[in-house]
């Protein structure tokens, strides 16, 4: 799913935006995040080190805003019937994945963000931390580190470096 959405976005913006801007935008998007950004970077033949930094920054940029504002946004959206269902669904899906985070708290949040599989990452980690009333002071550094670890993993997978070590 991430690959097909990423392909579509790359195809849509190719020729109109610089490839670095494309991977930055993809890395900021929920669901795709840096997983999609690194796939796009490889497709667009962006140099590895440049892709690593751009995708990392793109992925962590929304996180502080999510931690600060998401509950207020959700509360506002819940006042309206059409958006209430969407917010309830997002909260349900996020909380459904909260078991490990609740059990291991800080380490759980770090691992939740660090392992780059669908449904995890900076966005979901920030939403989850907010819903679990984790303090920004403790959750933000964990999410930032988790995104860095995920970036390392995705770089190894996207650029084929894993074959060197395995």
pLDDT digits (tens, 9 = 90+) for 5-45: 998 999 999 899 999 999 999 999 998 999 999 999 999 99
Same domain, 46 and 69: no
Give the pLDDT confidence score for residue 92 in this predicted structure: 87
- Residue of 155, 161, 148, 149 lying closest to 57 (CA atoms): 148
Alpha carbon distances (Å) from 83 to 80, 100, 120: 6, 28, 23
pTM over 0.95: no
Are 68 and 102 part of one and the same domain? yes
- Cα–Cα separations (whole angstroms), residue 117 to 1, 67, 78, 154: 11, 21, 29, 10
Confidence of residue 164 (pLDDT cuts 50, 70, 90): low
| Domain tally, the chain | 2
| pLDDT higher than threshold 60 for residue 165 | no
pLDDT in tens, 61-120: 999 999 999 999 999 999 999 999 999 998 888 888 787 778 888 899 999 999 988 888
Give the residue carrying structure tokens 């892709």.
51
Query: Do 140 and 158 fall into the same domain?
Result: no
Two structure tokens written together for 129: 């931390």
**Cβ(58)–Cβ(20) below 8 Å:** no
Longest dimension (CA), the chain: 53
Residue 79 is predicted with a pLDDT of 95
Q: What domain range is 103 assigned to? A: 63-149
Per-residue model confidence (pLDDT) at position 166 = 47
CA distances to 10, 34, 66, 74, 160 from 56, rounded to whole Å, are 18, 7, 16, 26, 18
Rounded to 5 degrees, what angle do the CA atoms 51, 55, 58 make? Answer: 140
Residue 6 sits in the same domain as residue 70: no
The mean pLDDT value of the chain amounts to: 91
Length of the chain: 166
Same domain, 68 and 127: yes
Q: Tell me: do 55 and 129 sit in the same domain.
A: no
24 and 83 fall within a common domain? no
Residue 79 shares a structural domain with residue 144: yes
Q: Could you tell me if 94 and 24 lie in one domain?
A: no
């Amino acid at each position: 799913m991430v690959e097909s959405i990423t392909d579509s976005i790359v195809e849509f913006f190719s020729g109109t935006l610089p490839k670095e801007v494309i991977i930055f935008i993809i890395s900021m998007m929920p669901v795709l995040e840096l997983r999609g950004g690194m796939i796009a970077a490889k497709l667009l033949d962006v140099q590895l080190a440049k892709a690593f930094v751009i995708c990392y920054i793109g992925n962590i940029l929304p996180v502080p805003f999510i931690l600060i504002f998401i509950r207020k946004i959700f509360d506002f959206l819940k006042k309206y019937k059409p958006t209430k269902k969407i917010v309830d669904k997002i909260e349900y899906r996020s909380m459904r994945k909260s078991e490990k985070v609740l059990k291991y708290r800080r380490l759980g949040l770090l691992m939740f963000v660090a392992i780059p599989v669908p449904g995890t990452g900076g966005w979901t980690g920030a939403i989850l931390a907010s819903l679990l009333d984790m303090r920004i002071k403790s959750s933000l550094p964990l999410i930032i580190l988790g995104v860095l670890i995920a970036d390392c993993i995705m770089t190894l997978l996207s650029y084929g470096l894993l074959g060197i070590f395995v």
